[in-house]
Amino acid sequence: MATTTHETPAVRASRRLSLGLLLLGLLAPLVPLVIWAVAGEWRYPDLLPASYSTRPVQFLMSPQSRVVEGLTNSAIIAVSVAMIASAIGAAAGRALGLYGFRGKRLVQFLLLSPVIVPPVAATLGIHVAFIRLGLANSLTGVTLVHLIPTIPYVTLVMSSVYANYDRAYEDQARVLGASGWLAFRRVTLPQIFPGLAVAGLFAFIISWSEYLLTLVIGGGRVQTLPLLLFAFLRGNDNAIGAVLSLAFIAPALLLLLVTSKYLSGSSTTAGFGKL
């Protein structure tokens, strides 16, 4: 049974202050970007721009910028990766978190190998295989290759969640006649959902910000926001770079704010256990 804790006013005030400072630290670096996005002329050492312009925003919405295409591709890929990685990682995390078996540490080490191996070497080998399979230069190929760095993180998060998961509730549901799917949907999923939301957030952000894998496997034909952003940052137009940076940051920041309540252990029954 979940227990209810009563916080004192001082504790609530302290938590709100901590949250406010966290948000301030998170949003403060975005202030120069917002100013640059509407700046017409801004020269050193002026504190504020000498003039303002809507040119960067107009460029962002124009067809030749390809921002809408990049935003659409990034959203499709990141959402697909988050869903697939969450499904695979939840199943693998259950096995690693609930059961002990010979070679478990080796499996955990192999899960980290995509993060340990230099990405350039791994990507070139994957690219050759994807060319032979006809997956190169396609959204499907980019989505599949993004699973390589995301599944390990999701699996490790879900392993920690399941390590502190009490199977007694699930067993009681099965004894009362619930099928395996019904027991999962009504009992297991509500308990692990906070951890699953955090794991999905990690997968989304990793995929959303991925540059090298997208560039190599997509072959420049699959345009995403990171590719466009890096291309414009190599130029000298700070205003365009700023407005693209805001477009790049906004979806991930919004998703982070939506799932922020799951980042604290107080909202989850399952919790984050020790592997």
Q: What is the pLDDT of residues 191-217, one digit of tens each?
A: 888 889 889 988 999 999 898 889 999
pLDDT of the residue at 270: 46
**pLDDT per residue over 157-187, tens digit each?**
999 898 888 888 888 888 888 888 888 888 8
Q: What is the pTM of this model?
A: 0.79
CA of 229: how far to CAs of 35, 192, 237, in Å?
18, 36, 12
Token duo for residue 68: 């809408």
CA of 50: how far to CAs of 35, 44, 139, 186, 187, in Å?
11, 10, 43, 59, 60
Mean pLDDT of 54-74: 83
Task: Give the domain CATH number at 85.
Answer: 1.10.3720.10
Token duo for residue 267: 């909202």
Whether 15 is covered by a domain: the verdict is: no
CA distance linking residue 135 with residue 2, whole number of Å: 47
**pLDDT per residue over 81-129, tens digit each?**
999 999 999 998 888 888 888 888 888 788 777 777 776 777 888 888 8
How many C-beta atoms lie closer than 10 Å to residue 106's C-beta? 9
Token duo for residue 207: 């995929």
Query: How many structural domains are present in the chain?
Result: 1
Whether 8 is covered by a domain: the verdict is: no
Whether 193 is covered by a domain: the verdict is: yes
The residues near 214 (Cβ < 8 Å, ≥ 6 apart) are 77, 142, 146, 222, 224, 226, 227
Whether 2 is covered by a domain: the verdict is: no
Mean pLDDT of 242-261: 78
Domain that holds residue 162: 29-267
pLDDT of the residue at 86: 94
The residues near 249 (Cβ < 8 Å, ≥ 6 apart) are 30, 33
Whether 1 is covered by a domain: the verdict is: no
Whether 3 is covered by a domain: the verdict is: no
pLDDT of the residue at 5: 52
